[in-house]
Amino acid sequence: MEASEIIIRPLLTEKSYGGIQNKIYSFIVAKDANKVEIARAVETMFNVEVAKVNTLVMKGHKKSQNTRQGRTEGRTSDYKKAIVTLTEKSKPIAFFESLS
Domain ranges of the chain: 3-87
pLDDT in tens, 25-59: 999 999 999 999 999 999 999 999 999 999 999 99
Backbone angles phi, psi at 23, to 5 degrees: 60, 45
Half-sphere exposure of 18 (CA within 13 A, CB side): 3
Return phi, psi of residue 89, to 5°: -85, -5
- Can you give the pLDDT at residue 1? 83
User: What is the tens place of the pLDDT at every residue in 68-87?
Assistant: 888 889 999 999 999 999 99
Architecture of domain 3-87: 2-Layer Sandwich (3.30)
pLDDT higher than 80, residue 100: no
Q: Check residue 46 and give its pLDDT.
A: 94
pTM: 0.87
What DSSP string runs through 6-32? HEEEE---HHHHHHGGGTEEEEEE-TT
